[in-house]
A and B are shown apart, each in its own frame.
Chain A
Amino acid sequence: MNNKLNISKVAVVGANGTMGANISAIFASFGDAKVYLISRDMEKSRNAVIKAYKSVRSDGIIKNLIPAEYSDLEKYVSDADLVFESVSEELELKKDITTRIGKCAKKGSIICSGTSGLSVTTLAECLPTELKTNYFGVHMFNPPYAMTLCEFIPTKYSDNTKAVLLKNYLTDVLRRTVVETKDSPAFLGNRIGFQFINQALIFAEQYKDQGGIDFIDAILGPFSGRAMPPIVTADFVGLDVHKAIVNNVYNNTNDYNKETFLCPAYVDSLISENKLGRKVGCGLYKSEIDDSGNKRRMVYDIKNGYYRDVIKFAFPFADNMKEQIKNGDYYQAFETLINSNSIESNLCLNFLLEYIIYSLITAQEVGYSVHDADEVMATGFNWCPPLALLDALAEVQNPKLLFSKIVDKQVLKKINLEKLILDIEPSKYDYRKFFKSGR
């Protein structure tokens, strides 16, 4: 058998979505494959072609991008070496499309779903036996040109040789950071990332008297190891998408942190009012232009149920950390975080420590190595990965002491901290670039 996959034609089904178009571009550029971009009508597919080549900044790939529509799905899918399903995250819709693909895909072709967390096994079952072996979850992150993470999810039906070949293709040809995970709700990256985000939303409600949303985001800003604060991220992702992800995990998993996946009621009510976040111009945050033409950044006040100006919180611990990070004094910054002992600094530290714990535990459950959590959080979220964060904190204080001192006793009771820390290895990532000053 050939030891390399030869993928010269790809059919992307649902190519008009952001992910569909961007993924088409990855196949057409790095993969130099001819890509059929299939969506509901030609207009949408033509727009997807433009989105696609712009996303990789290369009109050299336009010749590889062929717009197509659903009525021709059978024609294009039957011609493709690889079919990539990228329709919206609704199980029934995905099942219908996968069944339709299964009826026309050519023998030996690879079929992938870009689902961000539905059961790949369930979807595989829509296919005839001879294609089930070639079916995989291939979950990329947005935007894939900048975020190289690609979660790779085989099922119990998957052919092992094909799995290895596809993994090599994704790594060597498409230049993805491939992390194999189990077929578990939301897989690894979103399970860890959205736990953190949803917990931030829950805490915003608990601290609604202190300010709520902007209060929590000010505590978990870029100085805490991420490009944007967690609740801003939820707004960016879209509250409907956020809710679908956390609901899926809540309903289909059962770990010690299950309750932190419960979407708070105030988020539900914003969704019901179609305040879905940045994509509709209004969500947890919104921007308005005031009478003098200045941009006014506003936030949803959970306590009062209306939008108000974002408060510029000034916490001494955060201001000190920002100044120290600005000057490259990371050790001092983590010392500040650990030793400030204010309500806010302890909240921040608690979030970071619980993030480490949940990442390590989830990597054991959903991944295959302790480093998997690092890979997904660094290359899929651009957050300081958990092991790198632990490296940083451990320079200042013994991690075991730190966990016992800061983390909620209720959480510590549910986990085996001793054993968890025993397995820890240094991260392959450098923590310094993830900690940012400013804003």
Chain B
Amino acid sequence: MNKVHIIGGAQTDFERNWTKEGKNLVALLKEVLKDGLDDAGISFDDVRMLNEKNKVGCFVGNFIAEQYVNQGHLGAFLTEVSPAFYGVPSARYEAACASSSVALDAAITKIKAGEYDLAIVVGWELMKTVDSKIGGDILGRAAYYEKEGRGIDFPFPKLFGRLADEILNKYKIEEGRFMDALAMISVKNYSNAKNNPLAQTRKWFMNFEQAKNRGTSTNSIVGGRLAVSDCSQVTDGAAVVVLASEQYANSIKKGTPIVKGYGHRVAPLLFEKKILESQNSPYILPWTRQAVLDAYKTSGLEVKDIDVFETHDCFTSSEYAAVSAFGISKPGEEYQAIETGITSMLGSKPINPSGGLIGCGHPVGASGARMFLDIYKQVAGKAGKYQVNNANNGMMLNIGGSATTNYVFIVGNP
């Protein structure tokens, strides 16, 4: 199998509202592709030349543009970005909020197999085209819509609120301590986002007092025990990752990071069934844990080798469950790792230095590519003010639905 190198990428400024700017999806794609290719040192002429030999492909991650912007057939949209993409194989990949991880997986596979020298992965979502209630309903299609979404206001906050309930049930943790740990996750991610110049919440205020007082006028309850401060954001944005074969990568720059491992597992779609199935497992989300184990196995690495994590904190309860899934703590003892600051920026196992989905933002179809880009930036020493010192290997977990699709990648220096 061939090695897969990461030679660059870019994300848009997640603070931007593309509807307010009056710009369409083509404008979004043009910007992020230009920036991503510039960062990788690739020109549109390079794409043309590779395409003559059928050695380049594009992989588009998007959840549900049909609903947000009335558009399908998204792989074909790169031809609107530049004529350089005429004839380039390109398709859209979908797995709810893990859409761009599937796109990454497909791209990685093509390079591993030696079929392409260059793979351009772009994940995107424009979510601010609708109000929050309609947006919540659209996102309900990431669950079993007929049973878990239809007619329910904000189905996902409710599902992840239930995850919080089930964690309490399973591990018999003291409720106050657990809820405070969730508040600490929120505060950490908002605080990390302050160092990320492209984070949606970089100017926003959050502190422990605000995050732990749920059910107030500025921190209303959104699902079960969870409040606004426990939620990720509604975001417009895109992220590009440029992957290359070893030979092609070396022709551009030496020593670029490589993909070291991956895991992909799909859990039962219905939340109810997930929880039923997990009763005999020490983990609340056993298939999430399994995807992590698969990534460790395929990379030959262990948790001690991972210097930085990006996880799918669509809600604080999902980051909470990720702590043990990564192997940072035993299942049921996540709160201890959180309380002692192990997962904070200066801790031994920092999670979400970018700010994550809560701090950096969550354009659903872009999030997988954005996380991948961030662990690449970390190991390449390009993360600027949110750089983790001496990061050599990074792991990301991207989930779709209520932890239904679970995608894990490990990126590291060769």
Interface residues of A (CB under 8 A from B): 29-30, 32, 53-54, 56-61, 63, 145-146, 148, 175, 222, 322, 325-329, 430, 432-433, 436-439
Contact = CB atoms under 8 A, between A and B. Distances in A.
B203 A326 contact: no
A145 B203 contact: yes
Interface string B10-31: 0001001000111110111111
A59 B211 CA distance: 10
B217 A59 contact: yes
A175 B16 contact: no
A32 B191 CA distance: 14
A175 B217 contact: no
B279 interface: no
Given A29-B205, A175-B194, A433-B21, A328 B27 contact: yes
Interface in B198-238: 203-207, 209-211, 213, 216-219
A147 to B, nearest CB: 9
Contacts of B207: 29, 32, 58, 60
A46 B251 CA distance: 66
Interface in B17-69: 20-24, 26-31
Contacts of B209: 60-61, 63
Given A60-B211, A60-B218, A436-B21, 16 more contacts: A29-B207, A30-B205, A53-B218, A56-B205, A58-B210, A58-B219, A59-B216, A59-B218, A60-B213, A63-B209, A145-B205, A322-B22, A325-B22, A326-B23, A327-B24, A436-B23
B203 A58 contact: no
* Interface size class of chain B, counting residues whose CB lies under 8 Å from the partner chain: 20 to 34
Interface in B61-116: none
21 contacts: A29-B205, A54-B218, A57-B218, A58-B218, A58-B219, A59-B210, A59-B216, A59-B219, A145-B203, A145-B205, A148-B203, A175-B203, A325-B22, A325-B23, A326-B27, A327-B23, A327-B30, A432-B31, A433-B13, A436-B22, A436-B23
A141 to B, nearest CB: 13
Nearest to B211: A60
A430 to B, nearest CB: 8
B26 A328 contact: yes
The B interface is mostly helix, strand or loop, or mixed, namely loop
A438 B24 CA distance: 11
A315 to B, nearest CB: 17
B205 A328 contact: no
Contacts of A325: 22-23, 27
Contact of B23 (A29, A53, A328, A439): A328
Given A29-B205, A146-B203, A328-B28, A437 B219 contact: no
Enumerate the 6 nearest inter-chain pairs by beta-carbon distance, A residue then B residue, closest first.
A328-B27, A437-B22, A60-B210, A438-B22, A328-B30, A60-B209
Which has the most chain A C-beta neighbours within 10 Å: B13, B21, B211, B219? Answer: B21
Nearest to A328: B27
B182 to A, nearest CB: 15
A247 to B, nearest CB: 33
A53 B209 CA distance: 13
Contacts of B16: 433
Contacts of B26: 327-328
A5 B323 CA distance: 37
Contacts of B204: 57
Contacts of B211: 60
B398 to A, nearest CB: 26
A378 to B, nearest CB: 12
Contacts of A53: 218
B217 A328 contact: no
A195 to B, nearest CB: 26
Contacts of A56: 205
A329 B23 CA distance: 10
A53 B27 CA distance: 37
A23 to B, nearest CB: 14
B391 to A, nearest CB: 24
A327 B30 CA distance: 8
Which has the most chain A C-beta neighbours within 10 Å: B16, B209, B219? Answer: B209
Contacts of A60: 207, 209-211, 213, 216, 218-219
Nearest to B19: A438
Contacts of A29: 205, 207
Contacts of A436: 20-23
Nearest to A54: B218
A134 to B, nearest CB: 27
A433 B206 CA distance: 26
A30 B28 CA distance: 33
A437 B31 CA distance: 15
A432 B16 CA distance: 11
Contacts of B206: 58
Contacts of A432: 31
B27 A327 contact: yes
A326 B13 CA distance: 17
A325 B31 CA distance: 11
A30 B204 CA distance: 9
Which has the most chain A C-beta neighbours within 10 Å: B194, B205, B217? Answer: B205
Contacts of A61: 205, 209-210
Nearest to B33: A328
A437 B203 contact: no
A325 B22 CA distance: 8
A250 B327 CA distance: 67
Nearest to A58: B210
B251 to A, nearest CB: 28
A61 B209 CA distance: 8
A58 B205 contact: yes
A391 to B, nearest CB: 14
Contacts of B13: 430, 433
Contacts of B213: 59-60
B21 A328 contact: no
A438 B210 CA distance: 37
A61 B213 CA distance: 11
Contacts of A59: 210, 213, 216-219
A146 B13 CA distance: 15
A145 B207 CA distance: 15
